[in-house]
Amino acid sequence: MEEFIKKNLIKLNTFHPNFEKALNEMLLAGGKRFRPKLLISVVKAYNPLLIDNAKYAAFAIELIHTYSLIHDDLPAMDDATLRRGHPTLHTTYDEATAILVGDGLNTYAFEVLSKAPIHNDIKIELIKILSENAGVSGMVLGQAIDLYFENKKLNLDELKELHINKTAKLIAASLKMGAIIVNKIDLAEKLYDFGIKLGLLFQIQDDLLDLEDETKIGKTTGVDENKNTFVTILGKEESIKKANKLANELKEELKNFDANLQNELSWLDKYLNRHKEN
């Protein structure tokens, strides 16, 4: 996947001195590639011959995720200075450049997906899933709720709605898109539901990590103090208990998938337990 990303970076024919570099900077800064890995794992479980084709869809998801991080770090949002162990784009360049880079990566994601060597009917379905879960019915809505309700306490159901949209839906979409690529229609919805629960666990873990030293996790910490997080609503100990409960449920649900998929998703165990490492 890393090689695929490097081969498909954005190339511009322009006299602008640094916009091409800025567009690719956060992609090259690394990251866990968690969402692409979910998609590729599902494809590998059922049709390894489609992995190279599926990398276009996996890269599209990574582009969307990276744009969301760039915008999330903006002064108007979290005003963060560190991401993926690197200075955030608005600190390296300026706020306008960071906004435009996010816009560019967002649209480039669908350009990449449109060029995937996949049947057009499947591509349209992939575009639909990605746009629904990343856009106004998903991640963008979650971010809007998150920002609007700063300094206003939500109840637990509202908090879940916030984070299902902001974090979980893109993770769930990654699994579902993998199933669509290999024509496992019935499995797609089961994986989506599994992904929503996985995304909630991921968010609780991130909320707990926000209590850590930023040099340890490679991004600005302490930005969530006035926000609705599992830690600010439930407290640290209850958040850990909730994370443990979700992790155990996900481990049991994994056992309900067939052996091939269990095997390809076995790497998830590390992520299910990452809140226990701190």
pLDDT digits 0-9 by tens, 120-146: 999 999 999 999 999 999 999 999 999
* H-only helix segments in the chain: 2-7, 19-28, 34-46, 51-72, 89-92, 95-114, 120-134, 139-148, 156-163, 169-181, 185-209, 214-217, 230-234, 236-254, 259-264, 268-272
For residue 86, the surrounding DSSP H or E stretch is strand 86-87
pLDDT of residue 190: 98
- Assigned token pair, 194: 């599994």
8 Å CB contact between 72 and 88:
no
How far is the first Cα of the chain from the last one, in angstroms, to the nearest whole number?
A: 29
8 Å CB contact between 207 and 229:
yes
pLDDT of residue 277: 61
CA angle 132, 138, 140 (to 5 degrees): 110
- Assigned token pair, 38: 């979910």
* Three-class SS state of 255: coil
pLDDT in tens, 63-97: 999 999 999 999 999 999 999 999 999 999 999 99
pLDDT of residue 75: 96
Q: What are the CA-CA distances from residue 216 to residues 34, 208, 278 (Å)?
A: 18, 13, 11
pLDDT of residue 278: 53
pLDDT of residue 213: 57
pLDDT of residue 210: 84
pLDDT of residue 224: 62
Low-confidence ranges of the chain (pLDDT < 70): 213-225, 277-278
